[in-house]
Amino acid sequence: MKKKQVVLVTGASAGIGKDTAKSLIAEGYTVYVVARRVENMKDLEKLGSISLKMDITKEEDVVAVVEQIKKDHGGVDILINNAGFAIQGPVEEMAIEEARRQYDVNVFGLARLTQLVLPYMREKRAGKIINVTSAAGKVYFAMGAWYVSTKHALEGWSDCLRVELKPFNIDVVIIEPGAISTEFNDVSLNPLEEKYGSGPYGEMVKSFVKFSKETESTNNSSPPSVITNVILKAIKSKRPKARYAAGAMAKPIMALRKWGGDNVYDWIIQKMVR
């Protein structure tokens, strides 16, 4: 009997991570799900997942999760690096401590977890690493300097890693979601106006928040299942593409950035924050 592949999904307490985990369980994989809010993964446990509490910025948590999986199943066959968050605001006003945490979660924590699962994959000469970045990894917008830069960093990091791991038959795949209907926007937008709405960038902040909320309210966003389907496609493919863009506005806005050039793109972004 063929051994079921072991998948580790980070950030599985909500949104893309949770939706992906549900589909992977249904597909018959052995699915480990991790997040800080372990209580929000009870529904995944009932479906058959194994949930573990993990703060991706804490070395002891990350090591403990990998060691547990090694003990139970030998190691991770497929790693889905989905955990991430956004803190938005003007560069001048945002505390550098907040910016540093953004990198700790979106880049360094992810990188440390990847380091720990790689020896098993390398020895087997098989494995897949799926890094969920964002369309923001190819574009930019006001109020998003720290978040956007983490996604740009993750794109470049993933490209380098893909080349390094190719000789060991390990695939590295980038997933670039566009606008997705999750709690992500609420977490990043709700504090924005309260913290920065009365400062020197106040009018720009209010305009950005208004535009973002109007975009979501007019159904210009996609359900998490759109990204789940792309992740499953990458997992099942013998020769997955290096990157997949999916979800509302992802492909058009990246094409605009690529072919329109800086001046055109800047003009459009400035229209968003009148």
**Residue tagged 């580790």 (tokens):** 8
**What are the residue numbers of the active site?**
147
The arrangement of strands across the sheet holding 50-53 comes to: 50-53, 30-35, 6-10, 78-81, 127-132, 170-177, 243-246
**Using CB atoms within 10 A of its CB, is residue 251 exposed (0-12), middle (13-18) or buried (19+)?**
middle
Q: Rounded to the nearest 10 degrees, what angle do helices 145-165 and 110-124 cross at? A: 10
List all residues 6 or more positions away from 119 whose beta carbon is below 8 Å from its beta carbon: 75
Helix (H) and strand (E) counts in the chain: 10, 7
CB-CB neighbours of 28 under 10 Å: 10
Q: Rounded to the nearest 10 degrees, what angle do helices 250-272 and 202-217 cross at? A: 140
For residue 153, give both structure tokens.
Answer: 């960093």
What is the C-alpha separation between 88 and 178, in angstroms, rounded? 17
